[in-house]
Amino acid sequence: MENIIRENLSINIKVIDLLNEQIGRESRASSVYLAMASWCDQNGYDFSAAFFYNQSNEEREHMLKIFKYINDNGGIAYSPEIPKVNHEYESILDIYKTALQEEIGISKEIHKIFLTCRKENDVASELFLQWFVNEQQEEEQKMRHAVKIYELHGEDVENHYLLDKRMSRS
Ligand SMILES: [Fe+2]
C-alpha cells in the first residue's frame, strides 16, 4: 500500500525521506531550546529564557511545516521520536555557542536537501525549502549576535544579567 502511494507522487521519494529526517532534526532543536530555556530560568536569565521558549516554539513550527508539506503532497510524514537532550551548561555563553553550532548544523542539512531537490529536478520542494534557507540564515545571525555580545562584554559575571536584557531585542 505504502509503495503504491509513493509511486504516484509529484515530489521526489528521496527528497521525502530526507525531509522526514529533517522533521527529526527540527524536533530535536525544539527540545534542545526548551532545555536551554529551563537552564536560563534556573539561573535568572529571564530574557534569554523567553528567547529560548520562543525559539523552541519556532522549531516546532518548522517541524510541522515540513510535516504538512509531506502529507499534503502524497507522502507519509513520520512523527519523530522524542530525543534525550543535554541540560547541563557551563554558562550563558556556552548556551549561545551551542545554539549557534546547532543552527549551523541544521543549515548544512537544509542545504544538502536543497541540493538533492536540484539534482532530482524536484522543483516544488526546492521552492518550499527556499523559505528554510532564508530562515536558517536569520537564526544563525541571532545566535552569532548573542555569542558576540557575551564574548565582548561577558568577562564580568555581573554584566551577564545586563546583557541578558539585550536578548529581548532579538
Ligand atoms: Fe528550524
Instruction: Name the residue with cell 530535536.
Output: 28
Give the Cα separation of 48 and 40 in Å (integer): 6
Q: What is the pLDDT of residues 104-152, one digit of tens each?
A: 999 999 999 999 999 999 999 999 999 999 999 999 999 999 999 888 8
Q: Ligand 1 centroid vs 44 CA: distance in angstroms? A: 26
pTM: 0.89
- Largest distance between two CA atoms of the chain: 62
For the chain, 170 residues long, give each residue's pLDDT as a single digit of tens.
455 555 567 789 999 999 999 999 999 999 999 999 999 999 999 999 999 999 999 999 999 999 999 999 989 999 999 889 999 999 999 999 999 999 999 999 999 999 999 999 999 999 999 999 999 999 999 999 999 988 887 777 777 777 787 776 55
Give the Cα separation of 136 and 25 in Å (integer): 13
Ligand 1 (ion): which residues have CB within 5 A?
26, 59, 62
Cell numbers given for 11: 515530489
List domains and CATH numbers for the chain: 2-169 (1.20.1260.10)
Let me know: does 23 contact 67? Beta carbons within 8 Å: yes
